[in-house]
RNA sequence: GGGCCUGUAGCUCAACGGUCAGAGCAGAGCGCUCAUAACGCUUUGGUUGGGGGUUCGAAUCCCUCCAGGCCUACCA
């Protein structure tokens, strides 16, 4: 059996994610995981919260909570929202877990043993008032270049000049406003990424099928300027994985933690271990997904992420893996996404602009969002959410094409055949023709789904749904039943079987509606992807009960659309 | 500043060197009345951002200009 390991970029802990975040990794990853499971693949689908780093500390501070407590609370919130959107993770872990601590320290130890780490003593801004070191961007002051007063320590937003915090005139802490700052010496560990340029280069070159976006970002980092630079992997923070060399302490590195981008991707591995722990399974059960020398040779590993995450997944994390000298699985395919915009601007977490996951679920069931977002996924360029487009898409695709097909067939059956699947007689040329067309459509759909062509898959699925209405229109059972009861029975049975097929092939996009439809057809909710459509069209037993599923998707009104436009116009 | 990406019908997007540049939505006409006033059929919309070049042939390759987006390594 084919095995696929799927990871979605892990969402940061400091708040509720917006729909742009959702469509950029977790949702398409879920689509792929659901499709592969339907197709009989063994799937391990992993996600987690990314909990370390300065923004988490600051968010906790703002919330007036200890950071560990804040993260635990926000993890639960994000986990519940993921459930609300029906994201079918096998495990939703935490980068603050003991498993990730141990693995992160293990990797650091291996890298050190293999000579890939070195110590650098450098000057860093320290705030005496807050008793903490400040990351460059948390220092603000006057730009020496253009005089802009709120320039950040890493770059001036006004003139875009790259800065060093020591360049700033009248520097102060962005966090407290305090100007009681000084330069302090501090020692950090650097990862020799530069040593891996050639290896990374040939590895990336060997990936002939990666998306342009993924490859071009990786290549730019690899070769621009002086080429890939070494990167500091430790920070002077409290909240994070304590710096250790495996199980050993690291002299001179006490009170330091690993950089969040060092431990975050390791959490993909750690979360799989957390999955094993949570299910009382031995280590071998998670290692067989990750170690090629412990059973993972046949695993295909696919990552989903937004384009901002690409450098860490194509370069830094692979260096961690390669540098360990151990047989950890490298990624086989990276599916990266552009950004989703909102009503002519950007979705923004910091400005709280757009629609956030909790608000979305309070407004409409998850299937509505899943369908629109996936059918408009920003695959090849940024794409745009507007309420009008959302309402049009939902009404046209879900209510009119799919929902109405289900409704007209089921209700006809309930009224004319007493809520039982009628006998399916011989097919005419019409049925033979439609069966061929349906088969071709579903074959194409399967190819697109396997290739992770998200928008095209949605388009193809919609085309397949439309065949249902075309069939009903052409065969006109309401006319047939007046003169030929048996013919009408055949038509309705054929259409009901088609509805059953739809419930299966649509389930990766709209799992709830699919399950509801299966309940009305009294089918078990463990479908598998149909390979022989002629057989699938004779699945339902004549005489089997069925019930009216009701309205699967309510049409959205212009009034609602206007209201939402107003409601979500400002910031939350 | 440098790099990458995008610009195609009113809207959202396909086509990535080769039959009249396609699809959905919106618009128009016809049909149907089982159904969520839904559905089906037909149909109107494009000098492919501007200009130049390469080629037998360009939306597609090259140059240039214009517009938008993203990244630029201590936010994640």
What confidence tens digit (pLDDT) does each residue in A46-81 have?
Answer: 999 999 998 899 899 889 999 999 999 999 999 999
Q: Å from A269 (CA) to B2 (C1')? A: 36
Burial class (CB in 10 A: 0-12, 13-18, 19+), A69: exposed
Q: Which nucleotide is nearest to A139 (CA to C1')?
A: B74
Q: Å from A408 (CA) to B69 (C1')? A: 44
Residue with smallest Cα–C1' gap to B33? A478
CA distance linking residue A319 with residue A484, whole number of Å: 71
Confidence of residue A276 (pLDDT cuts 50, 70, 90): very high
Of residues A153 and A388, more confidently modeled: A388
Residue spans per domain, chain A: 3-114+196-227+259-337, 117-191, 370-536
Cβ atoms A163, A153 nearer than 8 A: yes
Q: Which nucleotide is nearest to A396 (CA to C1')?
A: B25
Confidence of residue A107 (pLDDT cuts 50, 70, 90): very high
User: According to the model, what pLDDT value does residue A223 have?
Assistant: 82
Helix (H) or strand (E) holding A539: none
Q: Å from A140 (CA) to B27 (C1')? A: 54
Q: Which nucleotide is nearest to A155 (CA to C1')?
A: B72
Residue A285: Cβ within 10 Å count: 16
Q: Which nucleotide is nearest to A123 (CA to C1')?
A: B74
Q: Å from A158 (CA) to B1 (C1')? A: 14
Share of chain A above pLDDT 90, in %: 69
Cβ atoms A47, A95 nearer than 8 A: no
Q: Which nucleotide is nearest to A552 (CA to C1')?
A: B36
Q: Å from A473 (CA) to B28 (C1')? A: 22
User: How large is the angle between the packed helices A404-417 and A454-475, nearest 10 degrees?
Assistant: 30
Q: Which nucleotide is nearest to A231 (CA to C1')?
A: B73
Share of chain A above pLDDT 70, in %: 98
Residue with smallest Cα–C1' gap to B36? A404
Confidence of residue A166 (pLDDT cuts 50, 70, 90): confident
Burial class (CB in 10 A: 0-12, 13-18, 19+), A160: exposed
Q: Å from A411 (CA) to B70 (C1')? A: 50
The CATH architecture that domain A370-536 belongs to is Orthogonal Bundle (1.10)
The CATH architecture that domain A3-114+196-227+259-337 belongs to is 3-Layer(aba) Sandwich (3.40)
Token pair for residue A153?
A: 């320590």
Q: Tell me the residue length of chain A.
A: 572
Q: Å from A21 (CA) to B65 (C1')? A: 35
Q: Strand B positions with any atom < 7 Å from protein CB? A: 1-7, 11-14, 16, 23-26, 31-36, 38-41, 68-76
Is residue A429 pLDDT above 80, yes or no? Answer: yes
CA distance linking residue A451 with residue A317, whole number of Å: 24
Confidence of residue A357 (pLDDT cuts 50, 70, 90): very high
In this predicted model, what pLDDT tens digit does every residue of A320-342 receive, in sequence order? 999 999 999 999 998 888 888 88
Contacts of A216 (CB under 8 A, 6+ apart): none
Instruction: Name the CATH topology of A117-191.
Output: 2.170.220
CA distance linking residue A244 with residue A564, whole number of Å: 51
């Amino acid at each position: 059996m084919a095995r696929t390991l799927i990871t979605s970029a892990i969402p940061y802990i400091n708040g509720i994610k917006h729909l742009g975040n959702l469509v950029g990794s977790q949702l398409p990853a879920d689509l792929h995981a659901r499709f592969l499971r339907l197709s009989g693949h063994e799937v391990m689908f992993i996600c987690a919260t990314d909990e370390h780093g300065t923004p988490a500390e600051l968010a906790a501070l703002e919330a007036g909570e200890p950071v560990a407590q804040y993260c635990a609370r926000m993890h639960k919130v994000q986990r519940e929202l993921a459930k609300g959107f029906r994201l079918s993770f096998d495990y939703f872990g935490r980068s603050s877990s003991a498993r990730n601590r141990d693995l992160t320290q293990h990797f650091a130890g291996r890298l050190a043993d293999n000579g890939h780490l070195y110590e650098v003593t450098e000057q860093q801004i320290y705030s005496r008032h807050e008793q903490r070191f400040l990351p460059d961007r948390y220092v603000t002051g006057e730009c020496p270049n253009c005089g802009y007063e709120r320039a950040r320590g890493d770059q001036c937003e006004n003139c875009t000049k790259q800065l060093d915090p020591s360049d700033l005139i009248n520097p102060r802490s962005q966090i407290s406003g305090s100007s009681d700052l000084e330069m302090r010496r501090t020692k950090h560990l650097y990862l020799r990424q530069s040593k891996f340029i050639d290896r990374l280069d040939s590895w990336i070159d060997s990936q002939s099928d990666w998306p342009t976006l993924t490859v071009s970002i990786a290549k730019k980092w690899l070769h621009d300027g002086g080429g890939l630079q070494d990167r500091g992997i430790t920070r002077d923070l409290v909240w994070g994985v304590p710096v250790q060399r495996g199980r050993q302490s690291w002299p001179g590195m006490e009170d330091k933690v690993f950089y969040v981008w060092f431990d975050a991707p390791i959490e993909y591995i750690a979360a799989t271990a957390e999955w094993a722990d949570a299910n009382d399974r031995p280590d071998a059960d998670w290692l067989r997904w990750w170690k090629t020398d412990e059973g993972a040779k046949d695993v295909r590993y696919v990552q989903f992420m937004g384009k901002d995450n690409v450098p860490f997944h194509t370069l830094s994390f692979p260096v961690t893996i390669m540098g360990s000298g151990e047989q950890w699985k490298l990624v086989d395919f990276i599916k990266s996404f552009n950004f989703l915009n909102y009503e002519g601007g950007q979705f923004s977490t910091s400005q709280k602009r757009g629609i956030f996951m909790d608000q979305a679920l309070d407004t409409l069931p998850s299937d509505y969002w899943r369908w629109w977002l996936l059918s408009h996924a920003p695959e090849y360029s940024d794409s745009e959410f507007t309420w009008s487009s959302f309402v049009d898409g939902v009404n046209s695709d879900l209510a009119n094409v799919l929902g109405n097909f289900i409704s007209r067939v089921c209700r006809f059956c309930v009224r004319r055949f007493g809520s039982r699947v009628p006998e399916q007689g011989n097919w005419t040329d019409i049925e033979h023709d439609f069966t061929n067309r349906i088969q071709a459509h579903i074959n194409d759909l399967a190819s697109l789904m396997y290739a992770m062509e998200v928008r095209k898959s949605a388009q193809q699925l919609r085309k397949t749904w439309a065949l249902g209405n075309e069939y009903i229109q052409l065969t006109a059972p309401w006319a047939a039943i007046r003169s030929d009861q048996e013919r009408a029975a055949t038509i309705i049975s054929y259409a009901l079987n088609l509805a059953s097929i739809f419930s299966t092939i649509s389930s990766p996009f709209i799992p709830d509606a699919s399950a509801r439809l299966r309940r009305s057809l009294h089918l078990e909710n463990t479908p598998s992807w149909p390979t022989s459509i002629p057989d699938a069209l004779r699945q339902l037993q004549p005489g089997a009960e069925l019930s009216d599923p009701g309205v699967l998707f309510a049409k959205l009104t212009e009034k609602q659309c206007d209201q939402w436009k107003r409601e979500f116009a400002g910031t939350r």
